[in-house]
Amino acid sequence: MGQSYAVARPAEDLVGWERALVAFLVEKERRSGSRRTVEGYSRMLQAFFGRVGKTPDELTSQDVFVWAHSPGASGKDPSPTTTAARIACVSSFFRFLIRMEIVSTNPCDRLERPKLAQSTPRGLSAEEIRRLLAVLPDTSVGLRNRAIILFLVLTGRRREEVFRLTAGDLSLDSAVPYYQYRGKGGKSGRRELPRPAYDALRTALRGFGRELEEMAPEESLWPTEARTAVRSSTFYASLQGYLRKAGLPRAGVHIFRHSAAKLRRDAGQSIEEVSRFLDHSSLAVTTTYLRRLEGQEDPGWQKVAEAISLEETASTGLAPASRSEPSIKE
C-alpha cells in the first residue's frame, strides 16, 4: 500500500485498535481498487474516533448518531448524503471488526439511515462526445486529456483504473494493443485497447516528448510538464471547463463510464455483452444500471389514452381542443 493511513509510527508500536484500522483500510483498498475511496474512509474514521475519544468496544449507537448528524467544519448541518456516508463508513469498519472477532456488535445496526433521493445518471450521446472533443485545445495538456477521455469512453473503465495505468500495463500482440487493469473488488484483466484510444495516447505522449517504447514500465501514461503523473482531480477541474465551453452540464468523470455503457447499447450490444464489458458482478446489476441510465419505456400509455377518448393526444402528442368552449381567434 505504501502508506500508513492511521499513524506515522512503526507497526510494532501501534496499539491493537490502530492496527485493526490499518488492516481494515488495507483490505478496503484491495477490494475497492481506489486509493481515493480509502483515503476518504481514513479521514472520516480518524475524525470520528478523534472526536468521541473512545475505543471501538466502548462505542454506543448514540455516539455514532451524534457524530453522524453533527455540523462539519463549516458549521452547517450535514446533508442527508453526508450523514449516510458517515454511518456507512463506521458500519463498514465494525463489520470488519466482527469478522475478525474483535467485537461482537455493530452500533450502527440500531440507526435509521437517511432516505436519499437517487440522482438520475446520464451518459453523453455520441454527438455530445464529439462536441466535447471539439473544444479541447491542441496543446500537450489538451492532447493528453483527449486521450484520457477516449480511453474512458472506449474501454468503460473506472477513473482510478485508468489514472493508475503505467507504460508496463500496455503491450502489443500481433500489432493489436492490449492493456492490463486492476479493477474494483480485486478484479483484474487484460483487454484489447481500442485503436483510436491507443493512437490518441501515443500522440499525447509525444506532446510531452515521450515515446511509449522508451518509457520505463512504472512511468504513468498520463504525464505532466513537471514529469509527474496527472492527478484525477486536476483532470476533473479541466473537464468542467471543457463541458462549459461545449455547452454541456457539469458532470463528474464517471459520466464517461455511463456514456460507454449507453453507447454500447445504442450500438446494439446485448445486456450480457455490456455486463462483461463493465465487469459487473451479475446481469441484475447491469439491468438496473441500464434501466436507470436509459429510463423505462411505457408501451401501454397509448391504449389507455384511447380508452379515455384521447385518441388525438395518442396519435399526435397534442392535447385536443375542448368541444364545449368556442375557440378564440385573434
d(CA 85, CA 79): 10
Give the pLDDT band of residue 91 (cuts 50, 70, 90).
very high
Percent of the chain with pLDDT over 90: 54
HSE on the CB side for 228, CA within 13 Å? 5
Residue 319, pLDDT above cutoff 50: no
- Residue pair 108/66 in contact by the 8 Å Cβ criterion: no
- Provide the Cα torsion 40, 45, 50, 52; round to 10°: 140
Domains recognised in the chain with CATH numbers? 11-110 (1.10.150.130), 126-293 (1.10.443.10)
Say whether pTM exceeds 0.75. Answer: no
d(CA 55, CA 103): 11
Q: Bridge partners of 190?
A: 180
C-alpha count within 13 angstroms, C-beta hemisphere, residue 261:
27
Dump pLDDT digits (tens) for 57-77: 999 999 999 999 999 877 888
pLDDT band at 119 (very low <50, low <70, confident <90, very high): low
Tens digits of residue pLDDT in 12-53: 444 788 889 999 999 888 777 677 788 889 999 999 999 999
Query: CA 143, CA 63: separation in Å to the nearest integer?
Result: 50
Whether pLDDT at 104 is above 70: yes
Residue 149: count of CB within 10 angstroms of its CB: 23
| Ramachandran assignment for 162, one of left (phi > 0), alpha (psi -120 to 50 degrees), beta (any other) | alpha
Q: Which cell numbers hold the place of 216? A: 520505463
Taking 70 as the threshold, does the pLDDT of residue 240 lie above it?
Answer: yes
